[in-house]
Structure 1
Amino acid sequence: MKPDGRIRVMEIIARMNVGGPATQVSGLHERLDREEFDHRLYTGHVDGHEGDHLLLHDVREPVHRVPGLGRPVDPGDDYRALFWLVSAMRAFRPHIVHTRTAKAGALGRVAARLSRVGSARVHVFHGHLLHGYFSPVRRGLYVGSERVLASMSDRLVTVGSRVRDELLQAGIGRPEQYVVIPPGVRPGPVPDRGAARAALGIPQDAPVVAYVGRLTQVKRPDRFVAVAHAVLGRIPGCHFVVCGGGELDRQVERDAETIRDSFHLLGWRRDVETVYAAADVVLLTSDNEGTPLTLVEAGMAGTPVVSTRVGSVAEVVRDGHTGLLSSTDPDELAAHTVRLLSDPGLARRMGGAARDWTTCAFSLDRLVADTEHLYRSLCEARGRHLLTQGNGR
């Protein structure tokens, strides 16, 4: 396809903080067929207490910074971002406007309508935002606004079937608008266990449990610390590794003060594969999740997981086969963790099964292929004129 005949995609995300959405965007931005797609990324700035995916991974792809598009909701910033996006759309004339995260999804879809460019509109729901994020009043406002925004959307993409079902039950969108596209990951090279532990300063012969993710309320790092105390009561030599950061980092440090000799706070690391390789078990303690990439990445590294049975976790972890699922009770999570630490054969079998399953179901190549198919189908559905609009500008 000639360069001026490429499908132009304007991808908008509020901020590229370390986490699942940024990983997906970065993978797509890098791997989409550049001869067929002109894919451009528009984003705001990352808050000071969050890890910046672009900096952490030294992403050199061009990025368009949108003034006011960061996470905080502020009427002045929001209007500035909205009209900046309208202007950018009229200049770029995208065939497809692809939005992620709530704020970017609202501003991007409204801007697409105001710009009158005629773009197809896609919005991605990365998690179960109906639970654990908002007060009842704010949840009602969110649901009402998403119902309106769904009427401005050609496709609504979810990372799991359960996310889609919950949104439909809330009256957001119509069944035919939805497409389920699970996340995709391209793991980095996984070091051997000895080298990983040496790099992290962890004893070679100690049982190790890892937490990877943001230190924020919905992820419940306090529950991880509670599980650590319970596990240490049965396996005194166990060590616990926390890879991540957020607004609760100091609280976690205080909660773990009495077990600090067994607790390792690593902050954000670029080589997260080193953490998975060093761990015997990866533990996820969240109140709510979409389709968590932490568990996908752990599986690809061959590390079994213990997780709360929330969101679409069960679409990643096959309970009893690739890992163990639990209620949110710290004692039950601790019992599952102790079971895997006490039975290396079981942990090894689950880790191998997890590697086979996640590598097949959650590859980056599959994500790219699914997304390219979505883009092509949207252009075909909206008419071939989308592929010629704005050429020769």
Structure 2
Amino acid sequence: MKPDTRIRVMEIIARMNVGGPATQAIGLYEGLNREDFDHRLHTGHVGGNEGDHLQLRDAPVQVTRIPNLGRSIRPTDDLRALVQLIGAMRAFRPHIVHTRTTKAGALGRTAARLSGVNPAVVHSFHGHLLYGYFTGVKRSLYVRSERVLASMSDRLMTVGHGVRDDLLEAGIGRPRQYVVIPPGVRLGPVPERGAARLALRLPQDAPIVAYVGRLTHVKRPDRFIATAKAVLARVPDCHFVMCGNGELRREAEREIEPVRESFHLLGWRQDVETVYAAADVILLTSDNEGTPLTLVEAGMAGIPSVSTRVGSVAEIVKDGETGLLSGTDSAELAARVVRLLSDPALARRLGDSARRWTTASFGVERLVADTEALYRSLCRGRRDLRPARSTEVTA
């Protein structure tokens, strides 16, 4: 029998919750050339208040479950997950270990070092925890641990130049370790605006501003609501859609109560393209981002965005060309939103430009090609082509 000489890739992500890391992992899983790559995806379970990316998809994806690899940090469970990852590596003998998200990056890179397999190690930063997550001692511990983990990595992949520069400024890794590979997205067919509003039970003629993402602290749904109230003072017939869920759902419900008739809380939806199609403006209010897929998807749908100028957002939204950028003040954000709502010609021009820009720059095919090239470069001259032992794959 001819030996299997494919490049073996073991990808590790803590959980497949709705968001950028899971979207990129799935795009890669589906797009890698199966004749050249044997790609295995290892993940934990999604928390109860998060949307499960795998459940919201039509197509099944085979994954290997590591039960204790989820978001929560518990030393005993994390040790079990580490042991399981080491065993999986010794069985599969990957040429590449590719980790995503902070916890999976820590356990996966440690397992690669302890396994004795000697794979090339890639870690993806889809954003970072330097701003908006931790302060003081916790931030210091995060930076120190990432510096150590960077020394165990062959490549550090970031989704944008801004994210890379922030990490380098914090002393995490060396410039030659970094490679910038922007995200890749494939948006489903975008319905006609009237049909989209009908499907979501939204008014046909009112201005609509949408938020798409987790209801969590760093995304600042409270700032979205404050901005919405400021917009309503000037555009009283405007409606606001919040598509997503998270630990701040109940808090958001309390905050919108005085203007409840202007808000629509949709939860997680499989047909996110319907939300974009129904909107006049997409509003992102985060304290910190990598290159948020919400803005990429909105652009592909031809909808202009207003966003805080954080992380690598400016690498997606070209201010004044494909959308409008703002500081974090809700009054400033509201002024940008009102500008687009009151000037349909400007909004249409920015939306058309956003569609051309995002479609050309953030397609999933480009993501796959860039990642394949990275994997091949890491494997040149170092591949152990002994076949792997069989491993059980469970959905």
| Counterpart pick for 1:389 among 383, 386, 390 | 386
Distance in 1 (CA, whole Å) between partners of 2:254 and 2:389 is: 60
CA shift for structure 1 position 387: 4.6
> Does 2:301 align with 1:301?
yes
Q: 1:85 maps to what in 2?
A: 85
Query: C-alpha offsets along residues 49-106 of structure 1, whole Å, 9 cap, x if unaligned?
Result: 1111011114412110002100000000100000000000000100100000111001
Distance in 2 (CA, whole Å) between partners of 1:250 and 1:197 is: 25
Q: 1:56 maps to what in 2?
A: 56
Q: Is the 8 A contact 2:92 2:388 kept in 1?
A: no
Q: 1:37 maps to what in 2?
A: 37
Q: Tell me the SS of whatever aligns to 1:172.
A: coil
CA shift for structure 1 position 128: 2.9
Q: Is the 8 A contact 1:7 1:387 kept in 2?
A: no
CA shift for structure 1 position 388: 1.2
Q: 1:163 maps to what in 2?
A: 163
Query: C-alpha offsets along residues 208-249 of structure 1, whole Å, 9 cap, x if unaligned?
Result: 000000000110001111111111111111110000000001
Distance in 1 (CA, whole Å) between partners of 2:81 and 2:212 is: 32
Q: How many residues of Structure 1 are paired with residues of Structure 2 in the alignment? A: 389
Query: C-alpha offsets along residues 105-144 of structure 1, whole Å, 9 cap, x if unaligned?
Result: 0100110111110111000011032111112101111111
Q: Is the 8 A contact 1:6 1:387 kept in 2?
A: no
Q: Is the 8 A contact 2:295 2:316 kept in 1?
A: yes
Distance in 2 (CA, whole Å) between partners of 1:307 and 1:230 is: 16
Q: Which runs of 4+ in 1 moved over 2 A?
A: 389-393
Show the 5 A alignment for 1:59-138. Answer: 59-138=59-138
Q: 1:246 maps to what in 2?
A: 246
The TM-score, its normalising length taken from structure 2, stands at 0.97
Structure 1, gaps ≥5 residues long: none
Distance in 2 (CA, whole Å) between partners of 1:35 and 1:276 is: 36
Distance in 2 (CA, whole Å) between partners of 1:242 and 1:131 is: 24
Distance in 2 (CA, whole Å) between partners of 1:250 and 1:205 is: 29
Distance in 2 (CA, whole Å) between partners of 1:325 and 1:223 is: 15
Distance in 2 (CA, whole Å) between partners of 1:43 and 1:209 is: 34
Q: 2:208 maps to what in 1?
A: 208
Q: Is the 8 A contact 1:43 1:69 kept in 2?
A: yes
Distance in 2 (CA, whole Å) between partners of 1:3 and 1:126 is: 36
Q: 2:284 maps to what in 1?
A: 284
Show the 5 A alignment for 1:344-359. Answer: 344-359=344-359
Distance in 2 (CA, whole Å) between partners of 1:134 and 1:316 is: 25
Q: Is the 8 A contact 1:3 1:35 kept in 2?
A: no
Q: Tell me the SS of whatever aligns to 1:91.
A: helix
Distance in 1 (CA, whole Å) between partners of 2:389 and 2:126 is: 36
Structure 2, gaps ≥5 residues long: 391-395
Q: 2:393 maps to what in 1?
A: none
Distance in 2 (CA, whole Å) between partners of 1:310 and 1:235 is: 27
Counterpart of 2:150 in structure 1: which amino acid? A
CA shift for structure 1 position 354: 0.2
Q: CA RMSD in A?
A: 1.1
Q: Tell me the SS of whatever aligns to 1:324.
A: strand
CA shift for structure 1 position 391: 5.8
Q: Is the 8 A contact 1:302 1:355 kept in 2?
A: yes
Q: Is the 8 A contact 1:5 1:391 kept in 2?
A: no
Q: 2:270 maps to what in 1?
A: 270
Q: Is the 8 A contact 2:184 2:366 kept in 1?
A: yes
Q: Tell me the SS of whatever aligns to 1:368.
A: helix
Counterpart of 1:47 in structure 2: which amino acid? G
The TM-score, its normalising length taken from structure 1, stands at 0.97
Q: 1:227 maps to what in 2?
A: 227
Query: C-alpha offsets along residues 346-365 of structure 1, whole Å, 9 cap, x if unaligned?
Result: 00000000000001111100
Greater share of helix: 1
Distance in 2 (CA, whole Å) between partners of 1:59 and 1:40 is: 17
Distance in 2 (CA, whole Å) between partners of 1:227 and 1:79 is: 44
Query: C-alpha offsets along residues 367-393 of structure 1, whole Å, 9 cap, x if unaligned?
Result: 00000001000001xx24x15134688
